[in-house]
Amino acid sequence: MMTKLTKIHKSLLNKLKKLNIKKYRDLEQKFIIEGKRIVSEALNSDWKIEYLLIRENTGTDLQIKKLIEIADKKGIPNFLVKTKDFENLCDTITSQGIIAIIKKKSTELNQTFNKNIQYSLIVALEKISDPGNLGTILRICDWFAVDAVLVSKESADLYNPKVLRASMGSIFHLNVVNNVELNKVIEDFRKNGYKIYSTTLDGINLEKIKFHNKAIIIFGSEADGISGELIKVSDEKITIPRYGKAESLNVASACAIILSDYKSRTKELGLK
């Protein structure tokens, strides 16, 4: 039997509204997600959910009722929110009527090192400032079962609503290390047996690359590419062969092509 929803207290509501601003997300170490699919992904993960917020007159939706039941079983408080107040919490114009407040979960850099592991693929992202691109790349990394994602300090906020929405819940499936100073950590990975690949417009044709069993593939912003400092410490530069006249590829598209190529070839070799 579903628990009766409690009306949210105004003081809590005002506190949660501040989570739409990055500095308060950082201060409280919490963030907002909205929508049935991403809330479902969060509920089925090991991330800590603090509250579930339901817009008034939405509780009869069968999917939402099921999510409330899951939250009840996990002991997660559920609150009923007036439509106007609910909309003030949302980033989308048309909301599905359900929001979750999540506690941030950090993955430390040393958690990505495992000297005993034989095969590993890590994606490093430098200055990916567009939230939609960052979220889409996370979704792509999830699809291709990347072992970890390193996000540079100069990239978009990992908990930006647009990043979370574009990730479609993949953030809850990945090991993401945020605010990384890539130029300072790459050498540590090299010492742990990784080979470093930078994606550029003037590298070796992707079709000719022989990937190492432990690889870090770096992707940079569309505007500036990868910094010279990171290119210098890379073992090889990778280029996707161009057959038409387009000047460049969207970074998320490039990521999908390269990870697909990596996975298909390593699978053939029995590496993954």
What is the signed CA dihedral for 86, 92, 94, 99, rounded to 10 degrees? -40
Report the topology of domain 6-103. Answer: 60s Ribosomal Protein L30; Chain: A; (3.30.1330)
In the predicted structure, residue 196 carries a pLDDT above the cut 90:
yes
The mean pLDDT of the chain is 90
Q: Is-contact 20 89, C-beta < 8 A? A: yes
* DSSP H or E run through 99: strand 98-103
What is the signed CA dihedral for 134, 135, 139, 141, rounded to 10 degrees? 20
Q: Give dist(CA 110, CA 90) in Å, integer.
A: 35
Nearest to 255 by CA among 99, 152, 149: 149
Grouping H, G, I as helix, E, B as strand and the rest as coil, residue 192 is coil
pLDDT at 129: 94
pLDDT at 115: 60
Tokens of 184: 């300072």
pLDDT at 111: 64
Residue 94: which residues within 8 A CB-CB, separation 6 or more? none
pLDDT at 247: 86
In the predicted structure, residue 212 carries a pLDDT above the cut 50:
yes
| Domain spans in the chain, listed from the N-terminal domain onward | 6-103, 109-268
How far separated are the first and last CA of the chain, in Å rounded? Answer: 45
Q: Give dist(CA 260, CA 272) in Å, integer.
A: 12
Q: Give dist(CA 254, CA 143) in Å, integer.
A: 14
pLDDT at 256: 97
Q: Give dist(CA 15, CA 149) in Å, integer.
A: 31
**Amino acid at position 87, single letter:** E
pLDDT at 60: 74
Q: Give dist(CA 95, CA 87) in Å, integer.
A: 8
User: What is the per-residue pLDDT across 101-140, written as a single tens digit (0 to 9) for each?
Assistant: 999 988 777 766 666 677 899 999 999 999 999 999 999 9
pLDDT at 93: 78
Could you tell me the sign of the dihedral formed by the alpha carbons of 69, 75, 80, 83, in that order? negative
Nearest to 89 by CA among 37, 25, 30, 33: 33
In the predicted structure, residue 181 carries a pLDDT above the cut 80:
yes
- Helix axis angle, 131-143 to 251-268, nearest 10°: 10
Residues, the chain: 272
pLDDT at 114: 61
In the predicted structure, residue 91 carries a pLDDT above the cut 50:
yes
Q: What is the mean pLDDT of residues 200-225?
A: 92
Q: pLDDT grade, residue 1 (50/70/90)?
A: very low
Architecture of the domain whose range is 109-268: 3-Layer(aba) Sandwich (3.40)
In the predicted structure, residue 206 carries a pLDDT above the cut 90:
yes
% the chain with pLDDT above 90: 75
Q: pLDDT grade, residue 179 (50/70/90)?
A: very high
Nearest to 161 by CA among 186, 138, 132: 132
Q: Give dist(CA 194, CA 8) in Å, integer.
A: 50
